[in-house]
Amino acid sequence: MVGIAFVATVVGVGAVPVSDPAAAAAAAAGEEERSNAVPAITEFDLGNPNGLPNGIVSTGDGTVWVSVLGDRAVVRLNRSGEVMATYPLTGSPSSISVDSTGGVWVAMIGSNRIASISAAGEVHEYPLPQPNSLPAHIWDGGDQVYFSEQGRGYVGRLTESTGQVEEWEISGAVQLGEVSGLADQVWVVDEGAGRTWIVDRGGAARGAWDLVPGIRDLDVTTADSSGVHGAFQTATGVADFTYRDGGSTARGVLDAERSDLRGFARAGARFWMADAGTNSIVGASRGGKVFEFAVPSVDAGLTGLAISESRYVWVLERRHGKVARLDTIGLPEVTRVGGVDRYDMAVNISHEFSSADVDTVFVTSGEKFADALSAGAIAGHVGGPLLLSRQNSISRVVLDEIIRLRPREVIVVGGPASVSESVLDAIEEALPTAERVDRVGGRDRYEVSRALLTGEFAPTSPRALYVASGRNFPDALSSTPAAVRAQTGVLLIDGAARSLSSKEMAVVGQYSKAGATIKVVGGAASVSDDIMQQLSTAGNAIRLGGPDRYAVSVAVNEDAFPNAHVAFLASGVAFADALAGGPAAGSSEAPVFLVRKDCVPAGVLSRIQQTGRSVWILGGENTLSQGVLNLSGCANAE
């Protein structure tokens, strides 16, 4: 067997918000909490503190079903935690699974039966033909329902339309447990043998998966040409996996010194887990922040987890006969995009936000920031990614990404002093199907900026023109997604000059005549008051400033994105990691906020808390630390 080392991506926050009686009453009445509410846990009694609830699932109508071992019943709850119905069974349920028609299936290990409960509340029990089969876990595959038999090492199948039960031996099985599957295959975890068996829908063996021993929970989701995909949970962590003939891979999502995880489910990019060891509900995504919320009742014996309506996380308190509900409505999802260097970083951003067959890919220098800032808004405007190159060579990982994207054209932005002709030659060789590989250049950063704003990629219906200093990167970086949203670009100027040149004023005049508002980014230290006065004579001009670069980014984004639900965070002192993030943010209709290395400025944090549901961190830990990943606020003095 080959073991897997889970990737310890983050450290738990340790925040333990718990609902008060008033909040519990509001939840029971079905009232909606505000979108910026603090996530809280509410507990609901199931009627018998000694009932031993042991399984929980949710169905598409938002209701939650709980199997209760000691009561020999299944309890159905609404989103407010109220018991809608209780369904008695002849035996004790050992596990529960969602039915494809909106009801549930239950395995009853002690009475040698399985049962279905329809969405309408009809209960049908099916005795198994062989005694002592001990059906432990069950999975619905449509008309055919599969279950593991711990007593005999068999996998069974019930065809619901005919009532026929068939059973097949799994040779070598020790103690069969969890069951999952797809249209043409069934996966059965063997807790005793430390492996997972794969059989076809007719019971014939297809193989055994030995990559990870100790799997407690399994969710097989999709299959394609690259393999079978899903996720699993062990006592210590959760991971995504891809299984294929000849080799498998697994990528850890959480392994932060956990010891007793018992149940998981996915909501978007985030996994939620029941941690019996810490008596808490844990949420984590790969490269993202870990959220952890303690269940109010101590030593609850947490087991099982379900998610309803993409909002509520439910866990069972086995020792207290309760179910606990976490409302995640105000919880932002935080994900880091990193890379081994700035070039790899840009590729990873492209992978995350750009699909194949884009029309245009832009390539700029990764060693100088100016051309990338000019190109960023234009790239976002036309929907193409921004990749980075060294002056005289382009890395293999960047070429591979260009090949994956299969663009019609590749546009290099900047003169040969920034990106040489040898780089264009390498791109042409790697992508012979491209209609063209061309350059937009100029004698300096300012001429390149004007060329982009007036050339073939120039916006046709600009609502604004952003004007930022080309002497430094922060103001222009914040402006990139805002410019994309306004269907425009960023004009780089020498902000310390006393006046703009006639060529620069010609660009300003062109955009102003088209109805664009001229938006000057930064205070007088970035763009002088003399230039501001000159721009005001050309049309409607406003300044988006602040006492520092962090406040400027807030001002720009409050103006452009008053209600954005996604935010990107980039370093305010190191430009490299964030260069490619501007176009991605703009295409996502999301702002880029500048933050410090170890914390998030108060103004930025306030904006995220008000509207943010998803946060992307641009850069590795050397650029933006764990404090930023945890959305830790800066001290007032910072």
Residue 309 backbone class (left: φ over 0; alpha: ψ -120 to 50; beta: rest): left
Q: How many CB atoms lie within 10 A of CB 503?
A: 11
Beta pairing partners, 618: 337
CA 314 to the chain's CA centroid: 20
Q: Please tell me the chain's helix, strand, coil percentages from 3-state DSSP, rounded to the nearest 5.
A: 20, 35, 45
To the nearest whole percent, how much of the chain has pLDDT over 90?
A: 74
pLDDT at residue number 636 = 64
Rounded CA separation 60/56 (Å) = 14
Secondary structure, 3-state, 215-230: CCEEEEEEEECCEEEE
Q: What is the pLDDT of residue 211?
A: 75
Q: Are 233 and 215 in contact (CB under 8 A)?
A: yes
Helix pair 445-454, 370-382: axis angle to 10 deg: 10
| DSSP β-bridge partners for residue 40 | 327
Residues 108, 55: Cα–Cα separation, whole Å: 12
Tokens 């120039």 locate to 458
pLDDT in tens, 200-244: 999 898 888 887 888 999 999 998 877 899 999 999 999 888 888
Whose tokens are 């884009």? That residue is 358
Q: Residue 424: phi, psi to the nearest 5?
A: -60, -40
Our measurement of the distance from residue 593's CA atom to the centroid of its chain's CA atoms, rounded to an integer in Å, reads 19
Torsion of CA 53, 212, 105, 41, to 10 degrees: 40
* Other C-beta atoms lying within 10 Å of the C-beta of residue 547: 9
- Stretches in the chain below the pLDDT threshold 70: 1-39, 246, 254-256, 287-288, 330, 636-638
DSSP-derived secondary structure letter, 502? H
pLDDT tens-digit series, residues 543-600: 999 999 999 999 999 999 998 889 999 999 988 877 899 999 999 999 999 999 999 9
Beta strands 176-181; 164-169: pairing state = unpaired
Which residue is associated with the tokens 């409302």? 327
Please name which of 440, 350, 433 lies closest in space to residue 387, comparing C-alpha atoms. 350
pLDDT in the model for residue 226: 78
Dist CA 554 CA 546 (whole Å): 9
The pair of structure tokens assigned to 150 is: 């711990």
353 CA to centre of own chain: 12
Q: Which residue has the tokens 């369904």?
A: 87
DSSP state of 498: S
Strand partners, 230: 220, 241
Q: Which domains does the chain show, CATH number per domain?
A: 1-18+34-45+235-331 (2.120.10.30), 335-386+444-629 (no CATH)
Contact 41, 325 (CB under 8 A): yes
> Residue 529: enclosing H or E segment and its boundaries?
helix 529-536
Spell out the long-range contacts of 528-534 with Cβ–Cβ below 8 A and sequence spacing 24 or more: 528/495, 528/496, 528/497, 528/498, 530/498, 530/499, 531/493, 531/495, 531/497, 531/498, 531/499, 531/500, 534/499, 534/500, 534/505
CA–CA separation, 397 and 404 (whole Å): 11
Contact 325, 313 (CB under 8 A): yes
Pairing, β 104-108 against β 113-117: antiparallel
Evaluate whether 113 touches 91 at the Cβ level (below 8 Å): yes
Per-residue pLDDT tens digits for 406-451:
999 999 999 999 999 999 999 999 999 999 999 999 999 999 999 9
Six-digit token string for 80: 């407010």
Kindly report the pTM of this predicted structure.
0.62
Residues in Cβ contact with 42 at an 8 Å cutoff, skipping those fewer than 6 apart:
19, 23, 24, 27, 81, 324, 325, 327
Cβ contact 101:118 at 8 Å: yes
Give, in degrees to the nearest 5, the angle at Cα 244 between 241 and 245. Answer: 150
pLDDT, position 37: 37
548 three-class SS: coil
pLDDT of residue 207: 86
Q: Do 543 and 532 form a contact (C-beta atoms < 8 A)?
A: yes
* Chain centroid, CA 253 distance in Å: 11
Residues 372, 385: Cα–Cα separation, whole Å: 11
Q: How open is the CA angle 315-316-321, to the nearest 5 degrees?
A: 150
Tokens for 411? 């546009």
Q: What are phi and psi of 188, to 5 degrees?
A: -130, 120
Task: Note the pLDDT of residue 1.
Answer: 24
CB atoms within 10 A of CB 138: 28
CA distances for 585 relative to 335, 353, 568, angstroms = 14, 9, 7
**What is the C-alpha to C-alpha distance for residues 268 and 443, in angstroms, rounded to an integer?**
46
In this prediction, residue 126 carries a pLDDT of 97
53 close to 45: Cβ distance less than 8 angstroms: no
Helices (H) and strands (E) in the chain, counts: 13, 40
Using CA atoms, how far apart are residues 568 and 616, in angstroms rounded to an integer? Answer: 5
The CB density around residue 92, as the number of other CB atoms within 10 Å, is: 19
Q: In what order do the strands lie in the sheet with 436-440?
A: 386-389, 360-365, 409-413, 436-440
